[in-house]
């Protein structure tokens, strides 16, 4: 039996669609980066050897989901544990935790997420996972 997630319920109820709500989420995301930009840059340098500038330009795919009024599940790479831990700790402090959640883990956890079925009753924004070919090949 399909049980909608809090994220899909928010989307279906239209809670994420008003422009003012989206603007607030953008401002909160900007505030999170202003308050913790150095910590994000340090975590990505530790995990991936990324230069500081890449922290701000390549690690925010969440903006598109917010702009579209969608909810999102964010699954950082297990190859970036410092970044994943920091994001999992900070994101709920700034964004609506019913609508944006961080899921950590490796292949087993990602594979479990891919077992969820998108049906006509489920919302297209239930989750989004971008993984390596290893996970995608076995799902």
Give residue-wise pLDDT tens across range 82-104.
989 999 999 999 998 888 888 88
Report d(CA 60, CA 76) in Å as an integer: 11
Task: Give residue 92's pLDDT.
Answer: 93
Residue 88 has a pLDDT of 93
**Mean pLDDT throughout 62-82?**
85
What's the pLDDT score for residue 23?
A: 93
Q: Do the domain assignments include residue 3? A: no
Per-residue confidence band for 80, with pLDDT thresholds at 50, 70 and 90: confident
Residue 8 confidence (pLDDT): 61
115 near 85, Cβ under 8 Å? no
Residue 65 inside a domain? The answer is yes
Residue 8 in any domain: the answer is no
Residue 10 located in a structural domain = no
Q: How far apart are CA 96 and CA 20, in angstroms?
A: 14
The pLDDT of residue 35:
95
Question: Residue 66 is part of a domain; what is its CATH number?
Answer: 3.40.605.10
**Residues in the chain, how many?**
139
Residue 7 lies in a domain: no
Q: Which two tokens stand for residue 94?
A: 């700034």
pLDDT at 20: 94
Specify the number of domains making up the chain: 1
130 burial (CB, 10 Å; 0-12 / 13-18 / 19+) is exposed
**Chain segment 26-48, per-residue pLDDT in tens:** 899 889 989 998 998 899 889 98
What confidence category does residue 64 fall into, taking pLDDT thresholds of 50, 70 and 90?
confident
The whole-model pTM stands at 0.66
Task: Determine the straight-line distance between the first and last CA of the chain, rounded to whole angstroms.
Answer: 20
Separation of alpha carbons 87 and 46, rounded Å? 14
pLDDT tens-place string over residues 110-135: 777 666 654 444 454 444 444 454 45
**Does 9 map to a domain?**
no
Whether residue 58 lies inside any domain: the answer is yes
- How far apart (Å, rounded) are the C-alpha atoms in residues 32 and 122? 30
User: Which neighbouring-strand residues pair with 72?
Assistant: 100
Helical (H) or strand (E) element with 82: helix 81-94
* 35 assigned to some structural domain: yes
Confidence at residue 72, expressed as pLDDT on a 0 to 100 scale: 82
The domain of 121 spans 15-137
């Amino acid at each position: 039996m399909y049980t909608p997630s809090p994220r899909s319920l928010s989307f279906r109820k239209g809670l994420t669609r008003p422009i003012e709500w989206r603007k607030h989420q953008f401002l909160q995301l900007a505030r999170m980066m202003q308050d913790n930009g150095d910590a994000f840059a340090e975590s990505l340098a530790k995990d991936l050897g990324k230069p500081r500038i890449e922290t701000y330009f390549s690690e925010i795919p969440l903006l598109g989901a917010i702009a579209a009024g969608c909810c999102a599940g964010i699954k950082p790479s297990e190859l970036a544990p410092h970044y994943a831990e920091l994001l999992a700790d900070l994101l709920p402090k700034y964004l609506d935790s019913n609508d944006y959640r961080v899921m950590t883990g490796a292949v087993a956890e990602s594979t479990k997420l891919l077992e969820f079925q998108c049906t006509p009753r489920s919302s297209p924004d239930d989750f989004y996972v971008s993984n390596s070919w290893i996970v995608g090949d076995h799902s």
